[in-house]
Amino acid sequence: MKKLSARRRHPLAAVVVLLLALAATGGLYTAFAPASKAKADDSAQSLTIEEGKKLYEVGCASCHGTGGQGTTDGPSLVGVGAAAVDFQVGTGRMPAQQPGAQIPRKKVIYSQAEIDQLAAYIASLGAGPNVPTKNQYSPEGADIAKGGELFRTNCAQCHNFTGKGGALTHGKFAPDLEGVAPKHIYEAMQTGPQNMPSFPDTTLSSKNKKDIIAYLNAVNSDETQNPGGLELGGLGPVSEGLFAWIFGLGALIAVAVWVAARTAKAKKS
Amino acid sequence: MSTTASNTTRSRGKEPAGEKVADWVDGRLGIYSLAKANMRKIFPDHWSFMLGEVCLYSFLIIILTGVYLTLFFHPSMNEVVYHGSYVPLQGQLMSEAFNSTLHISFEVRGGLLIRQIHHWAALIFLAGMFVHMMRVFFTGAFRKPREINWMFGFLLFVLGMFTGFTGYSLPDDLLSGTGVRFMEGAILSVPIIGTYISYFLFGGEFPGHDFVARFYSIHILLLPGIMLGLVVGHLILVFYHKHTQFAGPGKTNNNVVGMPLLPVYMAKAGGFFFLVFGAITAVAAIAQINPIWAIGPYRPDQVSTGAQPDWYMGFSEGLIRTMPGWEINFAGHTLVLGVFIPLMIFPLVLVAIAVYPFLEAWVTGDRREHHILDRPRNVPTRTAFGAAWIAWYFVLLVGGGNDLWATHFHLSINAITWFVRIGFFVVPVLTFVVTKRICLGLQRRDKDKVLHGRESGIIKRLPHGEFIEVHEPLSQEQLYTLTAHHQYEPVEIGPTVDENGVERKVGGTQKLRAKLSSAYYGEDGQISKPTVEEYKEITSGHGHH
């Protein structure tokens, strides 16, 4: 012990202690960290990313650049997150058929597994919102009335009272929300695709998003009940006026023609 | 035998109860002479003469259903929390007006159907008046002595617009609230007095707590009261003037050919009322209108896209949507021309069609009574003017629905707006020119038919090889109908210098009138109808052509 205490002031003592400390921390980490599990996860993740990268290079790179950095034809995808990919590809908007005022919804061409791979690859480029889980977007147990109020305050300006859609400038439009999966509605709010502003959780909490989804489910889906009869597109007075002219007045004029054609015959007396 | 016997006993005994009642009433109201004068009134038969009836009946239906709605509606803007049966609005704050409309829709027996009949009937009433007015316009039924009745009808249309507007604003829903806000904006744009009028109307800042109650008394009392009076006046004048009729053999300016009011028209009109009621009820039962539960309660901080007024106010929406947002700032005051100019054009659009009859009367200088209707083609300038007005109106309607045109036809809303801006000036002119050409073409065709007969479609080959189409001469009745119309001569100013070389002063208005008159009735304004001489020459000469 005397030897050790005699050398504790040696110029290299600090270095030795540091090395020992590092070795100990590293050793402890390797001993306690869930090594095997982390390793397996890591490899699957990297495998998914690899697959996603391949898909990306075939389907997306021509517009978004080989590393997702964006080109003049498409925006950068660094930091858009998995949610954006899941929305854009999952609703068929991406890959786009042609550039235009707005990329419309169309047939989905990737399987959900492929979409997940693409999402994993894009998410690996930079941190962004994740794909929401089912209990985040499922409308069960949400406050429909609150959702309606939120929808009218935040969404109706573009999407109409019940999400039937509307026009924006220069050929752009806010689409009809009927038949859009709750997950995609959630992701759209989260990421703000195309011309839509984004409503991150700091603006519109996860619960509020759920309320909005529940409201749309109640007023603009297959289950929506229209107590008054045909909904006429739910577009308000324009379609109502058209209906009144064509089927209302049209029917009455047809009746008038019919009545006028049936004239009484003069009796000979 | 037994009937004869009972008849004789009856005539000797007491008179029938009906007769007694009728005698009693006649002694007090003089119904016998009234009935004698009016029961055999003759009405001509044509489907287009029943358009007015469509309006009358839909007006009655609106009153009937409206009375039912007043039993349950609360015209109050007090805030309440919703606890009714419509789940997506549970617990929401809303005005009592909105709450009671939801109550009518979901809880009152038959409430939703009555509400929908009321609203659909209103749209159809206005559409009916529009078409009725155009029928009167294009056939020239507005000419002397019916100018006042034309004005009555026009006023009914305008009042109908505002009754509709105040009516659909009552539920205080997000859509109508936006419409009221639009109106408030238009009022505010009036220089100097705008702010004061707005404060007066809304009892302070918009929306305040008053407008629903105020609109309510305007909607159920003031405007319908005036309208009812005008409708009665309108009908009295129709009786007094007697109905117009289309030209035809046996029909003159001094008779009316048709069926008597009693029993034929009473039965027809009575039956037609129920047909109209039935058709409107069917529409109301099939199609939803103004689903306020889906629209939500009004809150000034909320607005939706696709916020349009009912169709009859659509042209004002078009004016405001397509007007560039011009503004002038002067000495600390802002003049919002982008809103104020549309507000000024709004009445102009309506007045343009209303004053036309007076313009035409001035141009023709005709002071005779007219009870025979014109065929639109025989008055090309009037027909072209009417068509141009409709086109103008339609262009503005397109502007009012520019967003729906954009989404449904995959167009740019900006392109549509520019189309409307240019079309506002160009489309009426084009329509005028085209319609006039079509009318003149049709007049030429009529002339051809009179002189050469109807094309039979039978082709004949003559011995020398020529092919001809056989023309069938028209019947005497058809010839009369096609040539019965009167053709005016253009007004001449005459020589401005008399034989002594003294110049005569000709006023500007007189010159204008002569100019208009020659445009109406000059060589380019009408095709002179075939004369008897022309007809004789052709028919007696070498047969058919």
Residue ranges of domains in chain B: 2-32, 51-308, 375-485+506-545
Of B91, B289, B303, the CB nearest to A228: B289
B288 contact residues in A (CB cutoff 8 A): 226-232
DSSP E strand boundaries for B61-192: 79-81, 93-95
Closest-CA residue to B298 (of B162, B116, B174, B449): B174
Mutate to test the interface with B, among A144, A158, A161, A173 (most CBs of B within 10 A): A161
Closest alpha carbon within chain A to B94: A149
Minimal C-alpha gap between B314 and chain A (Å):
8
| pLDDT, position B82 | 95
> Could you tell me if A240 lies within 8 Å of chain B, comparing CB atoms?
yes
| pLDDT, position B2 | 44
CA-CA distance, A41 to A18, in Å (whole number)?
32
Distances (CA, A) of B474 to B450, B453, B477, B527: 7, 5, 8, 20
DSSP E strand boundaries for A76-202: 166-167, 173-174
Binary contact (B123, A248; C-beta < 8 A): yes
CA-CA distance, B47 to A257, in Å (whole number)?
5
| pLDDT, position B280 | 96
Distances (CA, A) of B363 to B370, B490, B521: 16, 9, 10
CA-CA distance, B337 to B331, in Å (whole number)?
16
| pLDDT, position B541 | 62
Of B51, B284, B403, the CB nearest to A256: B51
Beta bridge partners of B335: B328
Averaged pLDDT of chain A = 87
| pLDDT, position B397 | 96
Of A156, A244, A263, the CB nearest to B304: A156
Binary contact (A247, B401; C-beta < 8 A): no
| Confidence grade of residue A269 (pLDDT, cut at 50, 70, 90) | very low
How is residue A167 annotated by DSSP?
E
Of B87, B280, B404, the CB nearest to A235: B404
pLDDT at B499 over 90: no
pLDDT at B3 over 70: no
pLDDT at B197 over 50: yes
Binary contact (B127, A144; C-beta < 8 A): no
Closest alpha carbon within chain B to A257: B47
Of B259, B276, B410, the CB nearest to A264: B259
CA-CA distance, B105 to B322, in Å (whole number)?
36
Least trusted range by pLDDT, from A87-96, B312-321, B332-341, B527-536: B527-536
First to last CA, chain B: 68
Closest-CA residue to B425 (of B370, B388, B464, B470): B388
Residue pair B148/B230 in contact (Cβ under 8 Å)? The answer is no
Of A147, A159, A255, the CB nearest to B279: A255
Phi, psi of B470 (to 5 degrees): -75, 125
Percent pLDDT > 90 in chain B is 73
B82 contact residues in A (CB cutoff 8 A): 145
How is residue B537 annotated by DSSP?
H
CA-CA distance, B132 to B238, in Å (whole number)?
14
Query: A12-40 pLDDT, tens per residue?
Result: 888 888 999 999 988 888 777 765 544 54
Phi, psi of B274 (to 5 degrees): -70, -30
pLDDT at A212 over 90: yes
| pLDDT, position B4 | 46
pLDDT at B406 over 50: yes
Binary contact (B279, A156; C-beta < 8 A): no
pLDDT at A268 over 60: no
Alpha carbons within 13 A on the beta-carbon side of A227:
19
Residues 71-110, chain A, touching B (beta carbon < 8 A) = 101
The answer to whether the bond into A75 is cis (omega within 30° of 0) is no
Minimal C-alpha gap between B170 and chain A (Å):
16
| pLDDT, position B6 | 47
| pLDDT, position A38 | 47
Minimal C-alpha gap between A114 and chain B (Å):
32
Give the three-state DSSP class for A87. helix
| pLDDT, position B438 | 97
CA-CA distance, B249 to B104, in Å (whole number)?
56
Task: Quote ipTM for the complex.
Answer: 0.90
A241 contact residues in B (CB cutoff 8 A): 123, 310-311, 314
Q: What is the pTM of this model?
A: 0.88
Minimal C-alpha gap between A248 and chain B (Å):
6
Residue pair B157/B126 in contact (Cβ under 8 Å)? The answer is yes
pLDDT at A112 over 80: yes
Query: B72-92 pLDDT, tens per residue?
Result: 999 999 999 999 999 999 999
CA-CA distance, A155 to B173, in Å (whole number)?
17
Closest-CA residue to A123 (of A91, A89, A78): A78
Percent pLDDT > 70 in chain B is 97
| pLDDT, position B421 | 97
CA-CA distance, B93 to B97, in Å (whole number)?
12
A243 contact residues in B (CB cutoff 8 A): 283, 287
Instruction: Rank B388-397, B448-457, B465-474 by mean pLDDT and report only the highest.
Output: B388-397
Binary contact (A229, B288; C-beta < 8 A): yes
Task: Please list, in sequence order, all residues whose beta carbon lies within 8 angstroms of the beta carbon of residue B280, skipping any fewer than 6 positions away.
Answer: A248, A252, B58, B61, B117, B120, B121, B124
Amino acid identity of residue B47, one-letter, is W
CA-CA distance, A82 to A66, in Å (whole number)?
18
Where do the domains of chain A lie, and which CATH numbers do they carry? 39-125 (1.10.760.10), 134-219 (1.10.760.10)
B51 sits in which H/E element: helix B51-70
> Could you tell me if A31 lies within 8 Å of chain B, comparing CB atoms?
no
CA-CA distance, B369 to B142, in Å (whole number)?
11
Binary contact (A264, B403; C-beta < 8 A): no
Considering only CA atoms, give the Rg of chain B: 30
Of A164, A226, A236, the CB nearest to B175: A236
Mean pLDDT calculated for residue range B310-325: 95
Q: Which fold is adopted by the domain B51-308? A: Cytochrome Bc1 Complex; Chain C (1.20.810)
Task: Please list, in sequence order, all residues whose beta carbon lies within 8 angstroms of the beta carbon of residue B257, skipping any fewer than 6 positions away.
Answer: B42, B44, B245, B248, B250, B251
Torsional class of B242: left (φ above 0), alpha (ψ -120 to 50), beta (otherwise): left
Mean pLDDT calculated for residue range B298-319: 94
CA-CA distance, B204 to A214, in Å (whole number)?
38
Task: Please list, in sequence order, all residues whose beta carbon lies within 8 angstroms of the beta carbon of residue B102, skipping any fewer than 6 positions away.
Answer: B82, B84, B86, B89, B94, B292, B293
Closest-CA residue to A224 (of A151, A159, A144, A170): A144
| pLDDT, position B496 | 79
The helix-helix angle for B314-322 and B413-452 (nearest 10°) equals 130
B373 sits in which H/E element: strand B372-373
Residues 17-46, chain B, touching A (beta carbon < 8 A) = 45-46
Query: B407-438 pLDDT, tens per residue?
Result: 999 999 999 999 999 999 999 999 999 999 99
| Confidence grade of residue B5 (pLDDT, cut at 50, 70, 90) | very low
pLDDT at B21 over 50: yes
Of A171, A228, A255, the CB nearest to B411: A171
| pLDDT, position A265 | 62
Task: Please list, in sequence order, all residues whose beta carbon lies within 8 angstroms of the beta carbon of residue B284, skipping any fewer than 6 positions away.
Answer: A229, B113, B116, B117, B119, B120, B121
Closest-CA residue to B543 (of B450, B460, B456, B473): B473
Residue pair B18/B217 in contact (Cβ under 8 Å)? The answer is no
Phi, psi of B248 (to 5 degrees): 175, 165
Query: B43-71 pLDDT, tens per residue?
Result: 888 999 999 999 999 999 999 999 999 99
Binary contact (A167, B407; C-beta < 8 A): yes
CA-CA distance, B87 to B386, in Å (whole number)?
50
| pLDDT, position B542 | 56
How is residue B368 annotated by DSSP?
S
| pLDDT, position B167 | 96
CA-CA distance, B317 to B188, in Å (whole number)?
16
Minimal C-alpha gap between B418 and chain A (Å):
12
Residue pair A214/B287 in contact (Cβ under 8 Å)? The answer is no
Averaged pLDDT of chain B = 91
How is residue A267 annotated by DSSP?
P
B286 contact residues in A (CB cutoff 8 A): 229-230
